[in-house]
Amino acid sequence: MFFCKLVFPGIAALAGVSAAKFPITNAVTKNTAENKMKSKLMAAAKPLTRKLDEGDDVVIDLTGYSIVFEKCQYVKFYNVGEDDGNDNGEGGILSTNKFVIFKLCNSNSCSTGCNYDYAEYVIDMYTYIEALTEMKQESIENMCNSCQNNCQMDDDAADYSEDCQSCMNECDAYDTLEDNGYGDASQFVECAEAQADDDAAEYSMGAYCSDDGSKITIGVFSDAYCSTINSDLDAATFLGYNGFSDHVLMAAYSTDCISCLQEVEDDGDDAADDYQQPETSETCQALYDAAGKCESPSGFKGGYLDYYSSQASNEDAICSFISSLDSGTYDQTGEIVIGDGGVKTVSGGSSTTGGQKFFLTVLILSTAGLAGYAAMLHQQLTGGGAGGLMGKGGALA
């Protein structure tokens, strides 16, 4: 009952704040994938400008903060609603929802532990992956454009500088992935049907959260909703690749600090770049807008929760839900973890306290005492107890 009270309000509150999700589409080719992701991602993003009661505009500024991935986690819960299914169309009594917990940390302290001026957020896993991989691809594109602009040389010129050679090698490797027999793992995030040429069985393929929640990979699943992993099949081999490159996908689970300061594109005008007003990146804006927010407990100074009235009223539920995801309450499949001694954790969560052990001992001893007393009464009533009761003035009808 405790878990029902904890999970359902959290999921309901989260569903209310993230109803508009990023569209996720597997790429047809590498060349078309980037443009499709960018257009769909930013079409779903809403500008972070909120109206005060007085009618003044408030622009949300996150330029001084950085995104930090904490963990991914599955949660199973009972389906509710008319369709008896979740957003992925998963039928049955139970459905699996996939979440990511991330932090916004003050960029000045982010790399040293993010222990002040931070907040926690929870969001749909696919939304988070798509946003972070889109940001990484945009960064690669900017780097390669800059490399091309700054490293142009005549064919008969001398050797390139070390920096130019490094960026050219990285860009060439990314552009020739498929030619060399490798796939870009970030292009197979969305759950989709997959079938091997020599296997009549039907599978699905999509993003998979590791057992400890620290990594996101691409897996092959035995069900249509990417819930039951088939550990015998390797996703890259299944598709005929020599392997997957996770250079882009790694951005979605890296614990590095990812600045929310919009990257300045190198257009060759250094003077204009020096005077460009700092802006919050579109990816950070979209994630902040869609995520469930837990800002008050950590004293977050950069939040704008007050301008999200529905989220502000549900903050306690969101914070409790994040705590349950982060404490090891669920295993890698989304089931509540229960051991011989009660609820136990998976990855460093809480254990049974001394007080809990004491009250459990008292309960066991009390139960044993009541059982002994009941046995004594039973013996008196069914054995020699009749004479004893008569001797004390009792009467038998």
Quote the CA–CA distance of 258 and 136 in Å, as a whole number: 10
pLDDT at 373: 79
243 with 363, same domain: the answer is no
Q: Which residues pair with 66 in a beta bridge?
A: 105, 259
| Measured CA distances, 320 to 60, 174, 282, 287 (Å) | 25, 42, 28, 20
Q: pLDDT band at 356, cuts 50/70/90?
A: low
Range of the domain at 61: 2-343
Average of pLDDT values for 55-77?
84
Is 296 part of any domain? yes
Question: 128 and 6 in one domain?
Answer: yes
Q: Is position 393 within any domain?
A: no
Check whether residue 363 and residue 338 sit in a common domain: no
What band does 82 get if pLDDT is binned at 50, 70 and 90? very low
Please indicate, yes or no, if residue 213 is contained in any of the structural domains: yes
**pLDDT tens figures, 359-385:** 777 787 778 778 877 878 877 777 654
* Mean pLDDT computed over 17-23: 38
If asked whether residues 245 and 371 sit together in one domain, one would say no
The answer on 336 and 362 residing in a single domain is no
Structure tokens at 118: 């931070």
Number of domains the chain contains: 2
Whether residue 337 lies inside any domain: the answer is yes
Are residues 147 and 104 part of one domain? yes
Q: Is residue 397 part of a domain?
A: no
Q: Examine the domain organization and report whether 304 and 365 are in the same domain.
A: no
pLDDT per residue as tens digits for the range 195-251: 776 666 789 999 999 989 999 999 999 988 898 899 999 999 999 999 999 999 999
Say if residue 250 is in the same domain as residue 368.
no
Structure tokens at 336: 């509540």
Distance separating alpha carbons of residues 328 and 323, to the nearest angstrom: 9
In the chain, % helix, strand, coil (3-state, to 5) comes to 40, 20, 40
Instruction: Return the pLDDT at 361.
Output: 73
- Within a domain: residue 328? yes
374 and 295 housed in the same domain: no
Looking at residue 313, its pLDDT comes to 82
Within a domain: 289: yes
Strands (DSSP E) contained in 264-394 are 292-294, 338-339, 342-343
User: Is the domain of 197 the same as that of 242?
Assistant: yes
SS3 state of residue 104: strand
Whole-prediction pTM value? 0.69
36 part of a folded domain: yes
Residues 313 and 373 in one domain: no
Angle at 129 between CA 251 and CA 110, to 5 degrees: 50
The number of angstroms, rounded, from the C-alpha of 24 to the middle of its chain's C-alpha atoms is: 15
Q: Is the pLDDT of residue 187 over 60?
A: yes
307 and 375 fall within a common domain: no
